[in-house]
A and B are shown apart, each in its own frame.
Chain A
Amino acid sequence: MNDVTELAMLQNYLLIGALLFAIGMLGFIVRRNMIVVFLCAEMMLQGVALSLVGWSRYFDDWGGQMLVLFIITVAACEAAIALALILMLARQTGNLDLADWQDLREEGSPPYVDHLIPEQREPPAVWPRLTPAGKVPEVDEEALLHRDRV
């Protein structure tokens, strides 16, 4: 490949990496679920990894790829510990809301409280079907176990 193509490829990969990073950052800041926040952190790391691989290829330097390997390693460690902590936190409050943990704020200033919570669409109700008298209703095991949302 000639230099121009290499350059073009580098440019593209860098741009994609930047976009991944930006989207990850956006998610980290906006979402309130602790799991989602950490997943977005991982997304940011991915963006960086992509950029590193691009640089490594362009400049013929193994260092970039080595760093990506270590990024993956450290990300794994970090995820393990983070999830343990998240579980502990969730045990305290019963949910995964990050906005429950506001005790670091300045003494005397009021905490953030939710005001407007958007409506949730009611799941379609599963009405039981009445059986004629004397008949044993069929129990749909799957329907019982069905969960509309995961």
Chain B
Amino acid sequence: MPESLLLQIPRLLGAADSAGTPFRVDARLLGWALLTGVLALIMLLPASSRGWRASGCVIGLLSLGFLLSGVLAPIVPMSEQIVFWIVAAVTIIAAVAAIATPRPVYTALWFALSLLGTAALMFMQGAQFLGVATVVVYAGAIVVMFLFVVMLAQPEGNDAYDRITWGWYTKPVSAILGAVLVSLLAFTLGAMNQTTFQRPSAGATDVLHPAHMARFGGELFGKHLLSIELAGTLLLVALVAAIAIMIHGRDPVIAPLEGPDNE
């Protein structure tokens, strides 16, 4: 392929640099970042040999570099920017590692790390309660639950089906689709006009109020009372359901669930 077309792709994948849009995304760099990212992921995901994985790591770091340097927007206080970069890098690297490792326990662990990164990002945005909730509920309860089940069902890890994927086209197609998704978002953001991002008048910046918890609670039990009650009921129902499934499935006399051997 001639060079001109190759250079066109990143430009076309990136957002249009039309004046007046509030978002500025460097199209070329976004394109390169996505390209290298796709390559890296394809090389990292299971059914790859050691050599591939190693070079995949290198290319992945390259992609991350593109991302951090060009794609992400600069934030004025430099310290903030560096912190953000570190947290973002940790999150992304943990996420990639979670899906790349062939051992499910390690997946859970990497995922927990990614959750921590997410929580940090939420802290940085002023959503302290949510950050804590992420760590406590998500990382602390849900991931732990997953770990319990993994250890029950597959403590060894690294089975055949962990090291391979179904279909020969899966990895490239899904990686490209992921890239397309991200570039779609970038495009759409870049194409929106000024008025969409008009912030409300700087009067009551409720969200960033120091008494964050009080306001959060007030909002939650004020406006969304019904939803809270429903959520609670949902939790109860889920609990009952989980127990029922276990009881139902445990006793072979009652009825075995449908499997590949019986229709």
Contact = CB atoms under 8 A, between A and B. Distances in A.
Partners in one complex: yes
Contact of B181 (A22, A36, A102, A114): A22
Contacts of A14: 185, 189
Contacts of B75: 5, 8-9, 12
B126 A83 contact: no
Contacts of A16: 88, 91-92, 121
Nearest to A101: B260
Nearest to A121: B50
Contact of A29 (B91, B127, B174): B174
Given A74-B231, A77-B238, A12 B73 contact: yes
Interface in B108-145: 108, 111, 114-115, 118, 121-122, 125-127, 129-130, 133-134, 137-138, 141-143, 145
B112 to A, nearest CB: 10
Contacts of A70: 227, 231
Range for the number of chain B residues in contact with chain A: 35 or more
B98 interface: yes
Interface string A36-51: 1011101100100110
A11 B189 contact: yes
B182 A19 contact: yes
A30 B165 contact: yes
Contacts of A112: 166-167
Contact of B111 (A25, A43, A61, A89): A43
B23 to A, nearest CB: 6
A92 B73 contact: no
B73 A8 contact: yes
A61 B171 CA distance: 39
A104 B171 CA distance: 23
A61 B22 contact: no
A59 B142 CA distance: 30
Contact of A73 (B41, B45, B143, B234): B234
Contact of B92 (A19, A60, A96, A149): A19
B258 A103 contact: yes
Interface in B86-113: 88, 91-92, 95-96, 98-99, 103-108, 111
Contacts of A66: 219-220, 223-224, 227
Interface of A: 3-9, 11-16, 18-27, 29-33, 35-36, 38-40, 42-43, 46, 49-50, 53-54, 56-62, 65-66, 68-70, 72-81, 83-93, 95-103, 112, 114, 116-118, 120, 147, 149-150
10 contacts: A18-B181, A19-B182, A22-B179, A22-B181, A23-B99, A80-B241, A81-B241, A81-B245, A84-B246, A92-B261
Closest 3 CB pairs of A and B: A27-B99, A77-B238, A8-B73
